[in-house]
Amino acid sequence: MALSIASSSSFAYKIAVETDLEADAKVNVFGGGATLHSIDIDNAANGGVAVFLKLFDSSSTVTPGTTKPDHQLRVGGGERILAQYPSGVSFSNGLSMNCSTTAGTAGDDTTDPVGAVIVNLVVA
């Protein structure tokens, strides 16, 4: 699993690519506040298992199974979704994220997907 961030002085946007997002949270991905404009979640490697991407407006500790997500997206087994937000979704403190096979903060929210879940974020 590897997180990479691309930015350019020519554009106001930054792109983050996580090649294997798991239940352990990636905290403050962009190092401060950000406005999310699109998200691409690829769950093709988990053919029969839905995953839940959780987004947190937090620049500090996120505890899977305890910290309530501000936004959550379900991606069916073997599916890929692209969500676009033309007006943007604001994360004033910082954008943190994790992914598990359990929705919300109920149950075992620390279960990693077996296969890699690829996440691409575009923020301004």
What's the CATH number where 80 sits? 2.60.120
Pairwise CA distance, residues 102 & 4, whole Å: 25
Q: Each residue of 53-101: pLDDT tens digit?
A: 999 999 999 998 889 999 999 999 999 999 999 999 999 999 999 999 9
Domain count, the chain: 1
DSSP 63: -
Q: What domain range includes position 49?
A: 3-123
Classify residue 56 as exposed, middle or buried by CB count within 10 Å of its CB (0-12, 13-18, 19+).
buried
Mean pLDDT of 6-18: 86
For position 109, what pLDDT does the model report?
74
Mean pLDDT of 34-48: 97
